[in-house]
């Protein structure tokens, strides 16, 4: 999902555009989300990915978003959707946030931001964690699967963090 990415603590690199519902559903399906998962959405915007992961799969979720108004909106939507006890929204920079508890990470950022994230994802995520990116690959990391979305004519990419 597009959301605030910081170069400094004030200015987002990417601006929020809501992920279409069919894409959200396909991302969670591709990630094989289960009730025991902890789904992190980097640049979580209005929170729809982690909220749906909690509602439909029983997973826990964490959204990391730079823009305070979007964090407030996501918290309200989670409350209205009866999953505020299963999801958390952090106002912060995804490059400095601790993502190590994640078993699933979702992204809709950009080619350059994903490339900058590659070392962090490989360093902080445990083996077996799944990453799904809408539209953009992650640097030179070869995905385990690519699914074409007829809905918006983009691709979804899946990676599984290898053993160390």
Please list the residues that pair with 15 across neighbouring strands: none
Q: What is the pLDDT of residues 116-135, one digit of tens each?
A: 999 999 999 999 999 999 99
Backbone region of residue 12 per phi and psi (left: phi > 0; alpha: psi in -120 to 50; beta: other values) = beta
Q: Is 87 helix (H, G, I), strand (E, B) or coil?
A: strand
pTM: 0.91
Q: What is the pLDDT of residues 29-75, one digit of tens each?
A: 999 999 999 999 999 999 999 999 999 999 999 999 999 999 999 99
Q: Where are the domains of the chain?
A: 21-160
Specify whether domain 21-160 bears CATH 1.20.59.10: no
| Strands of the sheet with 60-65, listed across from one edge | 87-91, 60-65, 38-42, 104-107, 130-134, 154-160, 145-149
């Amino acid at each position: 999902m597009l959301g605030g990415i910081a170069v400094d603590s004030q200015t987002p690199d990417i601006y929020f555009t809501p992920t279409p519902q069919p894409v959200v559903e396909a991302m969670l399906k591709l990630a094989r989300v289960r009730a025991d998962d902890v789904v992190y959405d980097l640049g979580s915007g209005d929170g729809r990915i982690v909220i749906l992961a909690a509602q439909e799969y029983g997973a826990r979720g964490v959204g990391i978003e730079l823009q305070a108004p979007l964090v407030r909106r996501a918290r309200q939507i989670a409350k209205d959707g009866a999953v505020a006890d299963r999801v958390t929204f952090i106002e912060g920079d995804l490059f400095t946030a601790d993502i190590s508890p994640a078993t699933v990470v979702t992204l809709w950022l950009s080619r350059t931001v994903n490339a900058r994230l590659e070392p962090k994802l490989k360093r902080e995520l445990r083996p077996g964690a799944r990453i799904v990116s809408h539209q953009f690959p992650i640097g030179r990391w070869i995905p385990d699967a690519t699914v074409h979305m007829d809905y918006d004519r983009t691709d979804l990419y899946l990676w599984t963090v290898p053993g160390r």
